[in-house]
Amino acid sequence: MPSGKTAQMTKEKLLELLSTISDPEIPVVSIIDLGILRTVVQMDDQWIITITPTYSGCPAMNMIEAQIKALLDQELGDAYEVRTTLHPAWTTDWMSEDGKRKLKEYGIAPPEASPHQHKLFGAPVLPQCPHCESKNTERISEYGSTACKAMYRCIDCREPFDYFKCH
Ligand SMILES: [Zn+2]
């Protein structure tokens, strides 16, 4: 029997609710901006929410799933299911332009290109400094504040910054 809560819920409202959930490591970007949220579909009297981690083994994913559940428990009771899918793997192409802009404003260099493009051009693309927009940057460490980011430094303005790694 469809519950009243499910009947009242629309996809639009659900997306609006989910847009309030952000990456715990990067509070300025929502899971929709990041492309983590893949699909929201209604099947019978259940909503199926499918997410794809940005980085397998990224500890933030468990937190994101917990946040989705905390939110939807209130809104939908048990009339929903969160599914995690690893295929196709998340790529930085799924990140919205809005999301990339917000990352940059937050001081994290957004991904430059998809891994496919990296292979095409050979050499890896150096990220642009989010502070002064210089392309004159160097990598300090493979890992930044989290495994999903690398640490770079701008040679021009000398500011260190995190770079959201391409996958
Ligand atoms: Zn700079």
Residues 76 and 119 in one domain: no
Number of structural domains in the chain: 2
Q: Kindly state the average pLDDT of the residues 40-65.
A: 85
Give helix 60-76 / helix 11-18 axis angle, nearest 10°: 140
Residues 107 and 155 in one domain: yes
In a domain, 91, yes or no: no
The SS3 of residue 97 is: helix
CA of residue 24 to ligand 1 center, whole Å: 25
Pairing outcome for strands 137-141 and 149-154: antiparallel
In a domain, 89, yes or no: no
**pLDDT tens digit string along 133-150?**
999 999 998 876 666 788
Neighbours of ion ligand 1 (CB under 5 A): 129, 131-132, 134, 154, 156-157
- Binning pLDDT at 50, 70 and 90, where does residue 154 land? very high
Q: Kindly state the average pLDDT of the residues 26-37.
A: 92
For residue 20, the domain's CATH number is: 3.30.300.130
Residues 74 and 11 in one domain: yes
**What is the sign, positive or negative, of the torsion defined by CA atoms of 111, 113, 116, 120?**
negative
CA of residue 156 to ligand 1 center, whole Å: 5
**Rounded CA separation 17/60 (Å):** 19
**pLDDT tens digit string along 69-124?**
999 999 999 999 999 998 888 888 899 999 999 999 999 998 876 544 445 555 56
CA of residue 128 to ligand 1 center, whole Å: 8
CA of residue 110 to ligand 1 center, whole Å: 14
Provide the domain limits for residue 117. 97-164
> What pTM, to 2 d.p., does this model score?
0.77
- Binning pLDDT at 50, 70 and 90, where does residue 60 land? confident
CA of residue 121 to ligand 1 center, whole Å: 24
Residues 70 and 126 in one domain: no
In a domain, 50, yes or no: yes
